[in-house]
Structure 1
Amino acid sequence: MPLKRRKFLTLASLTGLSVGALHRQTLSQTLSFQDHPDSPTEPTDAKPLLRWIAVGDVGTGEQSQYKVAQAMGRYRQTHPFDSVLLVGDNIYAGGEIDKIKQVFEEPYQDLLRQGVKFYAVLGNHDILSNQGEDQIRYAGFNMQGRYYTFSQGSVQFFALDTNSGHHQTEQLAWLEAALAESQADWKIVLGHHPIYASGLHSIRKHLLVQLGPLLGQHQPRTSLTDQLPPLFDKYNVQLYINGHEHHYERTLPIAGTTYLTCGIGGAQLRPTGKSSWTAFSSSQFGFAVGEVFSDQLVIKGIGVNGQPFDRGVVRRQTAAPVKA
Structure 2
Amino acid sequence: MKLIQLLTLTTLLCAPLNQAQSAQQDVFGEHYYQTNQIQSSLTESGDDYTFLVVGDWGRNGHFAQRSVAKWMDIAAYQFDADMIISTGDNFYDNGIASVNDPYWQTSYENIYHGPHLFIDWYVVLGNHDYRGNWQAQIDYSAISRRWNMPAQYFDKLISLEEGGSVHLVFLDTSPLNPDYQHEAKYQETQRQDSKAQLAWFEQTLKRHKNADWTIVIGHHPLYSSGKRYGKTSAVRGVIEPLLEQYDVDAYIAGHEHDLQHNKPAGSSVEHFVSGGGSEIRPVGQREFTAFAKSSAGFAVVRVNQQQFTLEFIDDKGEVIYQYALDKNRESAQ
Match of 1:68 in 2: 68
The alignment-based identity, stated in percent, is: 32
Deviation (angstroms), 1:314: 2.5
- 1:168 equivalent in alignment to 2:179: no
Could you list the structure 1 runs, at least 4 aligned residues long, displaced by more than 4 angstroms after superposition.
none
**Native 8 Å contact 1:148 1:159 kept in 2:** yes
Distance 1:288 1:47 in 2: 19
- Which residue among 143, 164, 177 is the counterpart of 2:149? 143
**Native 8 Å contact 2:226 2:258 kept in 1:** yes
Distance 1:200 1:239 in 2: 22
**Native 8 Å contact 1:194 1:202 kept in 2:** no
Please report the TM-score for the alignment, with normalisation by the length of structure 1: 0.75
Q: Secondary structure of the residue that 1:184 maps to in structure 2? A: coil
- In our comparison, the structure showing a higher alpha carbon Rg is 2
Distance 2:243 2:326 in 1: 15
Q: Secondary structure of the residue that 1:88 maps to in structure 2? A: coil
- 1:260 equivalent in alignment to 2:272: yes
Distance 2:229 2:131 in 1: 21
- Which residue among 166, 185, 190 is the counterpart of 2:212? 185
Q: Work out which structure has the larger RCO, using CA pairs closer than 8 Å and 6 or more positions apart in sequence.
A: 1
Match of 1:200 in 2: 227
Alignment RMSD, CA only?
2.1
- 1:116 equivalent in alignment to 2:128: no
Q: Secondary structure of the residue that 2:325 maps to in structure 1? A: strand
Q: How many residues align?
A: 260
Deviation (angstroms), 1:138: 1.2
Change (3 A) 1:118 1:42: closer
Deviation (angstroms), 1:202: 3.2
In structure 1, runs of 5+ residues without a counterpart are 1-40, 210-221
Distance 1:172 1:318 in 2: 27
Match of 1:58 in 2: 57
Distance 2:95 2:229 in 1: 23
Write out per-residue CA displacement over residues 113-137 of structure 1, whole angstroms, 9 at most, x where no aligned residue.
x64111110001101113x111111
Distance 2:283 2:273 in 1: 11
1:257 is matched by which residue type in structure 2?
Answer: V
Deviation (angstroms), 1:317: 2.8
Q: Secondary structure of the residue that 1:138 maps to in structure 2? A: helix
Distance 1:315 1:199 in 2: 27
Deviation (angstroms), 1:313: 1.7
Deviation (angstroms), 1:42: 6.2
Distance 2:239 2:158 in 1: 23
Q: Secondary structure of the residue that 1:291 maps to in structure 2? A: strand
Distance 1:75 1:245 in 2: 22
1:239 is matched by which residue type in structure 2?
Answer: A
**Native 8 Å contact 2:258 2:295 kept in 1:** yes
**Native 8 Å contact 2:256 2:273 kept in 1:** yes
